[in-house]
Structure 1
């Protein structure tokens, strides 16, 4: 099974850089019509999805490292 269009859009947004504070949250709301909380829930689920890893291994592995680092800091 392939990733859904919304899942692909979440990964695509994560590949982008944003110019300043609030820009990413604004893009999440305007482009994906999601609240930031829901977006991050979807993103975290994607990081554990092997389909996402196959689709974009660089982004998924980078985000997994960031997530793991944050967990170890707690």
Structure 2
């Protein structure tokens, strides 16, 4: 099992080393993937273009937040 942990640490270090130049991209991707950003940014745009899909985005966001709270508890 120690080998698995060691390889995981090595993989994380390698990913951090190789993707250092993409820091800005990953920060934006992380921000846009946040459920709060989905409500503030994605929902109004989608709701404006297609009402039914916008409501679905809102429900999925609410469900994701609820599941996140349940699984962290």
- On whether the aligned pair clears a TM of 0.5, the verdict is no
Greater share of residues in helix: 2
- Quick check: which has more Rg, 1 or 2? 2
TM-score under structure 2 length normalisation? 0.36
